[in-house]
Amino acid sequence: MSALHVLRGATAVLTYAVPGFLAAADWTWKLPANVEVSQAKVEICPYLYGKEWAYALEIDDGPKLVINVAQPLLAKQQFTDAPPGVSGGKPMPFVGGVAIMVLRVGGNGTLLSWDDLRKLNELGWGVISHSYFHKGRTWGNPPEILSAEQIRHDLFWSQWIIASELGEAPTHFVYPNGYTDYAQYLGEFGMYSGTRVGGSSVRFPYAPEAKHLDTTRNYLDGGVWTESGKGEPMWSFPKEPGPAAGEFIIDFTHGIGDPGTDSYARWEQRLGNIGQMYGAAGKDNVWCAPSGEIFNYVNARMKARVSLADGQLSVSLSDEIPGSPLTIKLTGISGDLGEVPAGTTVYRQGDVAWVTTPTIGKRGARIPGPAVKRIYAGKVESVSLPEPAKIAAVRIKQFGKPADGYELKLSAVTPDGNSVSLVDDSEKKLPALWGNWHLFGPVPLRDGLPARSIEIHPDRSLTDMEIWVVDEKQ
């Protein structure tokens, strides 16, 4: 048994073509001449690193406790980047994903900020779209049914703002209030998977009947866990012999309590059992990752082309889907593989090798236009633009109760001096809110509004403002 990690110097090519239907991302490795592959079998493993099943934890609504409590708790458990049964793997921490409502990010001290989310990204956590406004529901009296325009408006801004802050937009979605009317529009915004409690899909994403846009997850909020699950730490988790090959298990909660609470103790035991039995300390057959990364791998594996010919290992991935690393299993090879391409990890056991590539293709979701960018972030005041631009939206943060009788007045002043309101009559009276980012503007439902300035009547409850314009250079 041996392991080779990210050695540089061997011949490898990683390319990404201009977006288009026929474009593809390609990865190749020219093997040393002494390696015999004429009788070799090549296949892409069902999960990264050759693992047998996958696990993800989703925490909804972006609470601060994700970075203060959940991240260090999960990091206590580890798996390795080696296939099950192969020693010498690099230890990797358990990580999860946080589903954010964009209007609440950084709203107050109980919520994650963009800096927090960037730090979580660095630690291997994923950021999941949970919509901008968190609207829509089929329950209640009356229910809140959204139009196609409302859903597209929400998805456009949630994706663009996340991408602007974090460098890429999510490819995975958590339905607000379980409202699945979003599903038919997700693909337009580069998202190919979605989860909710009570989803209709089986937990085997490669099964013919799998529905990636309606994947279920275990409901593990404290009240539900103690009432329905009797507080059993492993409630809703497969009993021994454990998860089946190919299974993908997603746990979900709105929060994990601080150390010393019953909630923390349950999660500590649940995660500890998973780590001890299926992580590095046990079978080491689990891949723990953000749910979006797992779905991206599944989609990439189903659509990738892999070949081993004339001593060259090649993988091609359609540009239509988000990029992903892939683990290729080579069976029946002989000879010394030599140096490994940059960013690639190889494990070898006898005549079998597992090759994990770098990300093939472009990470994150592709978002439809028009492209937008933020040109102002500061206090709430009237602003003259450096040069005329097409206003896409204005975001305003509210923290507190408006002054009695206050009505929001927000306008764009066009280059010829006309004042055009950005606020509908129904939006002028603001309720008391404690950390919400209002969003007003025409894009994407209408064209950007040419303007030379933004005029606003401030209020004590309005603390911050952003101006977004159409990015004409993209």
Span 241-267, pLDDT tens digits? 999 999 999 999 999 999 999 999 999
Q: Of 305, 294, 308, 315, which Cα lies nearest the Cα of 337?
A: 308
Q: What's residue 255's pLDDT? A: 96
**Is 14 a residue whose pLDDT tops 50?**
no
Question: What are the phi and psi torsion angles at 123 (to 5°)?
Answer: -90, 5
Q: What's residue 177's pLDDT? A: 97
pLDDT in tens, 24-55: 899 999 999 999 888 899 999 999 999 999 99
At residue 20 the predicted structure's pLDDT band, cuts being 50, 70 and 90, is very low
For residue 352, count CB atoms less than 10 angstroms from its CB and return exposed for 0-12, middle for 13-18, buried for 19 or more: middle
Are 292 and 438 contained in the same domain? no
Are 315 and 377 contained in the same domain? no
At residue 1 the predicted structure's pLDDT band, cuts being 50, 70 and 90, is very low
**Is 21 a residue whose pLDDT tops 80?**
no
146-153 CB contacts, 8 Å cutoff, 24+ apart = 146/179, 146/181, 148/185, 149/445, 151/181, 151/182, 151/185, 152/185, 152/188, 152/444, 152/445, 153/444, 153/445
Last residue of a domain, one of 326, 346, 368: 368
Whose structure tokens read 């594996």? Answer: 301
| The model scores a pTM over 0.75 | yes
pLDDT in tens, 177-195: 999 999 999 999 999 999 9
120/117 Cα distance (integer angstroms):
5
For residue 110, how many other CB atoms are within 10 A of its CB?
12
**Is 325 a residue whose pLDDT tops 90?**
yes
State the average pLDDT over residues 434-463: 98
Last residue of a domain, one of 320, 345, 368: 368
Are 33 and 150 contained in the same domain? yes
Are 205 and 92 contained in the same domain? yes
- The better pLDDT of the pair 11, 303 is held by 303
Q: What's residue 39's pLDDT? A: 87
Bridge partners for 43 per DSSP: 329
Are 139 and 252 contained in the same domain? yes
At residue 23 the predicted structure's pLDDT band, cuts being 50, 70 and 90, is low
Are 307 and 378 contained in the same domain? no
Give the CATH number, domain containing residue 151. Answer: 3.20.20.370
**Is 318 a residue whose pLDDT tops 60?**
yes
At residue 474 the predicted structure's pLDDT band, cuts being 50, 70 and 90, is confident
139 lies in which domain range?
1-368
Q: In Å, how far from its chain's centre is CA 442?
A: 27
Q: What's residue 319's pLDDT? A: 87
Number of domains in the chain: 2
Are 403 and 259 contained in the same domain? no
**Is 359 a residue whose pLDDT tops 50?**
yes
> Could you write out the three-class secondary structure of 236-268?
CCCCCCCCCCCCEEEEEECCCCCCCCHHHHHHH
451/422 Cα distance (integer angstroms):
12
pLDDT in tens, 64-119: 999 999 999 999 999 999 999 999 999 999 999 999 999 999 999 999 999 999 99
Question: What is the separation, in whole angstroms, between the first and last Cα of the chain?
Answer: 50
Are 351 and 391 contained in the same domain? no
Q: Is the Cα torsion angle 289, 293, 298, 303 positive or negative in sign?
A: negative
Last residue of a domain, one of 338, 368, 398: 368
pLDDT in tens, 197-245: 999 999 999 999 999 999 999 999 999 999 999 999 999 999 999 999 9
Q: Give percent of the chain above pLDDT 70.
A: 95
Are 205 and 73 contained in the same domain? yes
**Is 18 a residue whose pLDDT tops 70?**
no
Are 156 and 276 contained in the same domain? yes
Are 291 and 187 contained in the same domain? yes
